[in-house]
Structures are given as C-alpha cells and as structure tokens.
Structure 1
C-alpha cells in the first residue's frame, strides 16, 4: 500500500466525509481563481481591453478544465471501489488507462484548439479591441492543456486512494506562484495577457510535477515509465461510463456561461470585462 493511501471506511462517516470533501471543494475553487488573479492583475496594469481578453480566454479554457475534471471523476470512483475490494491490479490498470487516454486527448485538444482559436473567439463575439489579447491568452493556455489534464488526473487518483488534502496543498502552492509570476510578468515586464497566461501554465505544470514527485517518493503503484502507459479496454469503458455524464454536466454549465459571454460581448469591451 502507498504511504498516502487512507481507509475512509473507519471512524465517523460524517467526519470522514467532511474531511475528504472540503479539500476537494477548495481545490476546485483555487483552480478557478487562476483566471481571476490573471484578470485582476492584468486589469490593473494594462486596462480594460487586456482584462477583457483574459476574461474571454479564461472562459474558453474553463470548458477544457471542466472536461478533464468530469472525466477524472470516473477514475476517482473506480479507484475507490478497487481500493475497497483490495484489487491492486484493477487500480493499476485503471490508472494506466486514465493517464494514457487523457494524454492522448490532451494532444488532440491542443491541436484542435490552437487551430480553432480564432473561429471560437469570433463565434463568441469577442470585441475587436480585445481580440488580440484574448487570442494570445487562449493560445498560451492551450499549449498547457497537458498540464491541466495531468494535475487533474493525478488529483483524481489520489482522491480515489483516500487523499484529498495533498492535491489541495499542491494547487494552493501553485496558485501563490501564479500570483507572483503574474506580478513579475505583467507588471514588471509588461507582457500583458501573454504574461498572465504563461504564469498560469507554469503554475499548472508545477502542481502536476509536485504531484508526480510526491507519488513517486511514496510507493505509488504506477511507475510513470513509457511502458506503463497502456489502454485496457474494459477499464476504459467503465471510466467513460462514469466520467462522461459528469463531464457533460460540467461542460453544459460552462457553455451556458460562454453563450452568455457571447451576448455580453456584443455590448463592447467594458461590458465583457
């Protein structure tokens, strides 16, 4: 058993549920704060047009984030079930399938979003004055999709094994780094939306590598060698069966906000910000 695994079946159900769910909730809130921090700092340093660009680019990026959070939920459920049954092989195969499928999806989405970034921004009526900043922010964050997917996949696995506190610590550390880099790149080096996006990507990469380092040092059952990345058909079916409904639910909510943003964008950059 890995050192970080916890048995949530012992002790008070209410206490265990609260202790597990609160870090999970806070982790998701902190991830959402990345874009908020970017907006505030860019708005202070560069004005309304840049802040609007960051806001719009962040709305699109949030859809991608919600996609992987939803899909990863399936892994959390399955790993928790296998852990309860002491099925180490089932856990290992599920983790391998999750990492392999999300890595593949991240590459595909990166290519698609880079190619479609301008049509997407035009579709949501991005104001001309903020278009370049929105495009720059979106392009940079899309180059970091692999880190968004990586952190959320690793966090899902850790939660499935009973540890929801460590992902919170790692994303909290990354959030502070993001704010510091925002100040450095946006205010000191005047890089605008690109600087804010670069800070976000670096911070997401940091949270992912912190997770990997911690897992490798604490007896994680997945080795992270290339040969370990494999697809298991039956595990993939189960992951999709549980993960797709959760993912669709999250994406529908995000799309509703995106369509609302498209309507607001017709009123100009001030309203969009």
Structure 2
C-alpha cells in the first residue's frame, strides 16, 4: 500500500468513526421509541417490539395530533413571514440609500446581545394589553422579524449587482418587480438557508409559546414533550417516541432544501 493510500485509508476510518458517533444519539432516540421504559433506562441499543404500545400510550395521554398541527402551523407561518419581511428589510438596507441606515442596522445588531428571557415580561405585558395572549398571532408575531435574518439578507444583497437594478428601473420595472422577478430568483439559495434556520427556530421555540399559549389545545410539540417529563412516573419509551415524531418535520424541510443550504449560508457572509 502506497503512502498516499495509507493516509486516505486512515482518514476515511476516522471520518467513519466520527459519523457513527454523530449519528448514534439519533439512532438511540429512534430505537428507544420501540422499547419499554425499563429497557430505555438500562440503555438497550437494539430495536424492540414495543412501538405500537408506546404509540397507543402516547395517544391516550396526550393531544399529539393537535400539538403536531399547532407546531406545523406556527412554524410554517413564522417561516414564511420571517423570510419575506427580513429579505425585504435586508434588501432595502443594502440597495436603498439613507444616511441613517447604518446606524439603524447597528442598533438592530446590538439587539442580538439582549437575552430572550429579558424581553419576556415586557412582551407578555404588551401582548396582554393588546389582547393577543393565547392566540396564534401572539405566538408568531415576535418571530416575524429578527436581526440575524435581516443581517443575513443584507450580506447576500451585496452580491446582487446594482447594474441590474439600474437597468430594470430604466426599462420601467417597479421596485416590487425588481424584488420578485430578479432578486428573489437569483437569491434562492439564501432563501432556502433562511427558510431552514427560520423553521428550525420556530419549531424548537419553547419559552415564549409556553408563556403565551395557556390553552391545553394550543400546546406545541416542545411543550408536549416537556410535559411528559413532569409526571410522577416517566414513560421513557413514549417520551422518546414523541421526540422522534417531533424531529420528522425538521428532517423533511432540511432534506428538501439541503441542496441550496450550504450555498446560501456561504453566500450570505460574502462581503
């Protein structure tokens, strides 16, 4: 074996080991959903035949279908609004000229340093006075615009040629036409990356939905899974099955958009 082949051999061995270590937690999560609670406690890593019993127990003790629908609805609406609003803001910050825009952008970036927990009480009081507690609008509204997404789209807009905009304006194309017919198709990779990040953040959101959604039928999947750990006796098999089910939508979104994800992320940080 030549030296080059020897190096490649051990490189692939190392990468395979790292991949196995990375995938094992997800494998164990899926396998645990097919085992009894006692088997999960002792760390059984082989699939069992207790899947249907765990599913029946989960359906009998929780509003699984309602929580799944609530999470999907909230995450999809939040993702669409977040990507649309933040892309408009990022495009505007980069392509429209105003002497105060850089100062405003700096303030937005500084807001990323404020912990989410510090804004919960003011948001709760404000939404209470607006009558938005225990509503889907109240749950989604704080996620419609985020400083990170605006910054991401602004960085991506830097690679969008100004010459195209000027030529389109000369030809009589309006600003909305430039945005929808030119900017959006060219920046589809950035939109795909933003959609994945936005959906993931909305799907995994726990603190704000827990506070603002006070109705039993408004529970989302993270709240439902958390509630399974608050019982006197924890059924780990059912809990791991619930966690497995809750990861399915995120996996679907990622695999559908993964081709453009890396390109979108790398393209968004080019100066």
TM-score (structure 1 length as normaliser): 0.31
Which of the pair has the greater relative contact order for Cα pairs under 8 Å at 6+ separation? 1
Choose 1 or 2 for highest CA Rg: 2
